[in-house]
């Protein structure tokens, strides 16, 4: 069972009325097929479907054998279009079928479809810290550094793997290592001005197998773009399973001009084939995280956005891979010094104001359970107001990822 993301079909009912999910009453006649999708995780699976006119309820049945003997079922009322089924076992075969109810009759069951749950789950985070040398956006690094440590380690965040950007100054790196060093090991980018300065991973959970600083411009434009041109790569062994993950932390150049958009595209076009080859050589799935300095659908001079370029190479935006999202309607960054000073978070409906991302590759090896932009709102309840001071002009972006191996 190598295919991890399964599309299922069901038929819409012809008429509408009421029977139980397991009723043997004659099913409604089909008039149209609609797609379902099942995304297995490690101890859960998400089932999605498209909204369908006339349907008032959906039913999902699953079991550990194809005969569906010890079946369990979940019913979901319309207009919901997904359900997260929890309490499953890792690396276990399950068999799934679905049908819909229109108020009178149920449709036929879909064909029974096999899936297999993932081997393990890892929480991953990207965080642009705002460089310690930048003094035009809010408090100094000395004033906010403890708040950076607090938001990373707070309950409900506390990622297993963390890549940070705008962390090239030696003193800022030293502060980060001191704040996180009791729980995390790290890889340090030795390039003195390179933004993706550190990658952290939980002690006792992972072991460093390989690391490299990668020139995303392949030697072009020497001695320029030193802050953004280098990607920070590590291969980490997950000790409990013995399987490994490839992690790349990057920070692409900011700017809304055509030349900068083209440079971002060139860097992604170089990184993705490199990471894909590494994945094929090692048999390991890939995470690419960082500040991509481009919102999801922004075209500049006909040049596609950074996420669109990643997608063209088969790298998936974790935001789009789950419907279990927290703070999805907020930006991942502050657009001005005034926003930072006022401790506001800007609105960006349905992820439209994101520039910080986590991508995964290949689709068959990684699924996403949950996605979050990590925000601490002010206790007075003021709309869009965050606790003071803001740790950075960016907000941490976190995803829970599930990994599959042959």
The domain spans of the chain are 6-116, 120-403
In this model, does residue 9 exceed pLDDT 90? no
Which of the listed CATH numbers 2.40.50.100, 3.40.50.10490, 3.65.10.10, 2.60.40.10 matches domain 6-116? 2.60.40.10
Torsions phi, psi for 270 (to 5 deg): -85, -40
What does the pLDDT average to over 55-60?
A: 92
pTM over 0.85: yes
Rg (CA), the chain: 23
174: pLDDT confidence band, cut at 50, 70 and 90?
A: very high
Residues listed for the chain: 406
Q: Which residues of 14-37 are buried (b: 16+ CB within 10 A; e: fewer)?
A: beeeebeeeeeeebbeeeeebebe
Torsional sign, CA 218, 219, 221, 222: positive
- Fold agreement (6-116, 120-403): no
pLDDT tens digit string along 66-78? 999 899 999 999 9
Non-local CB neighbours of 220 within 8 Å, separated by 6+ positions: none
More confident residue, 13 or 297: 297
Does the structure show a pLDDT above 50 at 29? no
At residue 41, the pLDDT reads: 98
pLDDT higher than 80, residue 337 = yes
Please compute the mean of the pLDDT values over residues 304-313 and round it to a whole number.
98
| Residues 348 and 398: beta-carbon distance below 8 Å | no
The mean pLDDT value for 19-45 works out to: 64
Tens of pLDDT, residue by residue over 265-295, are 999 999 999 999 999 999 999 999 999 999 9
Provide the CATH topology of domain 120-403.
Deoxyribonuclease I; Chain A (3.60.10)
Whether residue 21 has pLDDT greater than 80:
no
User: What count of other Cβ atoms lies within 10 Å of the Cβ of residue 48?
Assistant: 16
Average pLDDT over residues 3-19: 38
Q: Give the span between the Cα atoms of 176 and 183, in whole angstroms.
A: 12
| Interval 94-106 mean pLDDT | 92
- Model confidence at 23, in pLDDT bands (50, 70, 90)? low
Dihedral over Cα of 113, 114, 117, 123: its sign: negative
pLDDT at residue 2 greater than cutoff 60: no
Query: What's the mean per-residue pLDDT of the chain?
Result: 91
């Amino acid at each position: 069972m190598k295919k991890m993301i399964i599309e299922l079909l069901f038929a819409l009912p012809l008429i509408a009325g009421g029977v139980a999910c397991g009723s043997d009453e004659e099913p409604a006649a089909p008039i149209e097929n609609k797609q379902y999708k099942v995304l297995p995780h490690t101890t859960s699976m998400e089932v999605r479907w498209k909204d369908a006119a006339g349907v008032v309820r959906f039913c999902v049945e699953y079991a550990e054998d194809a005969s569906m003997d010890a079946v369990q079922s979940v019913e979901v009322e319309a207009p919901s279009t997904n359900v997260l089924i929890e309490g499953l076992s890792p690396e276990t075969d399950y068999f799934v079928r679905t049908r819909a109810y229109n108020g009178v009759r149920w449709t036929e069951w879909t064909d029974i479809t096999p899936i297999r749950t993932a081997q393990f789950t890892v929480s991953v985070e990207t965080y642009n810290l705002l460089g310690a040398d930048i003094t035009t956006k809010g408090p100094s690094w000395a004033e906010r550094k403890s708040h950076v440590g607090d938001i990373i380690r707070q309950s409900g965040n506390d990622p297993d793997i963390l890549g940070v950007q705008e962390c090239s100054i030696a003193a800022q790196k030293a502060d980060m290592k001191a704040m996180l060093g009791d729980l995390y090991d790290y890889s340090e980018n030795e390039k003195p001005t390179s933004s993706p300065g550190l990658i952290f991973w939980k002690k006792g959970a992972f072991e460093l197998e390989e690391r490299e600083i990668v020139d995303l411009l392949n030697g072009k434009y020497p001695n320029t773009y030193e802050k953004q041109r280098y990607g920070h790569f590590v291969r980490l062994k997950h000790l409990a399973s013995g399987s490994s993950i490839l992690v790349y932390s990057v920070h692409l150049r900011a700017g809304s001009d055509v030349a900068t958009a083209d440079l971002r595209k060139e860097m992604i076009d170089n990184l993705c084939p490199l990471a894909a080859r590494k994945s094929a050589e090692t048999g390991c799935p890939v995470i690419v995280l960082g500040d991509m300095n481009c919102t999801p659908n922004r075209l500049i001079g006909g040049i596609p956005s950074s996420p669109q370029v990643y997608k063209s190479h088969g790298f998936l935006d974790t935001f789009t891979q789950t419907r279990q999202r927290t703070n999805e309607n907020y930006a991942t960054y502050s657009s001005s010094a005034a926003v930072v000073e006022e401790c506001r978070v800007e609105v960006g409906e349905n992820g439209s104001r994101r520039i910080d991302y986590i991508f995964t590759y290949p689709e068959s090896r990684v699924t996403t359970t949950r996605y979050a932009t990590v925000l601490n709102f002010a206790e007075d309840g003021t709309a869009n107001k965050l606790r003071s001071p803001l740790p950075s002009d960016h907000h941490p972006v976190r995803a829970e990822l599930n990994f599959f191996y042959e």
